[in-house]
Amino acid sequence: MATKLKGRDLLCLKDFSKEEILEIISFGDKLKMDSMVGKQEHYLEGKSVAMIFQKASTRTRVSFEVAAFELGAHALYLNANDMQLHRGETISDTAHVLSRYVAGIVARVFAHQDLIDLAANSDSPIINALSDLSHPCQILGDLMTIREKKGTLKGLRLAYVGDGNNVANSLLLGAARVGMNITIASPKGFEPREDIVKTATEIAKQSDSSVLVTNDPLVSVQDVDVVYTDVWASMGQEAEHEERVKVMRPFSLTADLMAHAKKDAIVLHCLPAHRGEEITDEVLDGPQSMVFDQAENRLHIQKAVLALLLG
């Protein structure tokens, strides 16, 4: 399988071109179709993948482990507390050693700098399975889902409502790359990082799309094709939960808010959902919700990422 992506790190979507993102999505589509007819190619036969998880996970861990298995690889789950990192070994030493053992390292970390340090010292590709800055694999799966449901990405309008977190950061970059128009609606003080917004805006100019950040959820969802939300308090922010709920209550994705989007708009949420907070049961379980198809596609896009970067 010839690809220019082999050997690349995947830390942030700004490092990937539109063509490269679409290549990953299209390969995810292929792998999904293959699985539906019982076809399975072991692109990573005999290889091992290290999975360093500083944060707990359901979808990311399971999808990466199953993806590695179905590609013929062995996934090594490494809880940070069980590694020498917990006893003071440096990230650089860890990267040097692990990269001599495994074909690639999947890392879910608190600080994005840890990923940068891993990549700087590893001879094997580093794949970002979530950091405080970005969540690129999530957004690749989201873009796959949107194209699957809408038939295209170019020119679509997406609204993200809620906390301007790592998911919002990566959505900005991913949507801008593929030519989608994106609006982020967050309370004052909870907007996405200014440098990410600036970079996404520059990318959007090249792809003939638009980026808007607003504090008004109604403005964001007007006549959009996709409405996206996420939890109001990410891991590590639990102490702020009560205060965040008070501030973000007007940004809850309700049926009333959805009524301002297009009638055929789809709803996305990267999960886990705090039902009754950032999204209501009526919306999450409603006919416009593609949340569980979105979750399934994490597996197929994870397989595509592993196969293309490590294969």
Does the active-site annotation cover 225? no
Q: Which of 108, 112, 147, 177 is catalytic?
A: 108
**Amino acid of residue 36:** M
127: nearest Cα among 292, 272, 16: 16
H-run or E-run covering 267? strand 266-269
267: nearest Cα among 302, 301, 298, 295: 295
Q: Decide the pairing of beta strands 126-128 and 104-108.
A: parallel
Q: Which of 230, 244, 269, 294 is catalytic?
A: 230
28: nearest Cα among 300, 310, 219, 306: 300
Tell me the sheet residues that pair with 157.
Answer: 181
How far apart, in whole angstroms, are the C-alpha atoms of residue 23 and residue 5?
9
Which tokens go with 173? 């970059």
Q: Which of 12, 298, 300, 302 is catalytic?
A: 298
Does the active-site annotation cover 138? yes
Q: Which of 135, 177, 244, 300 is catalytic?
A: 135
Does the active-site annotation cover 264? no
Q: Which of 270, 288, 300, 302 is catalytic?
A: 270
Q: Which of 138, 288, 294, 302 is catalytic?
A: 138
CA 281 to chain centre: 23
Does the active-site annotation cover 61? no
CA 195 to chain centre: 19
Does the active-site annotation cover 135? yes
Q: Reduced to 3 states, what is the DSSP secondary structure of residue 77?
A: strand
How far apart, in whole angstroms, are the C-alpha atoms of residue 288 and residue 203?
29
Does the active-site annotation cover 177? no
Active-site residues, by number, are 108, 135, 138, 230, 270, 298
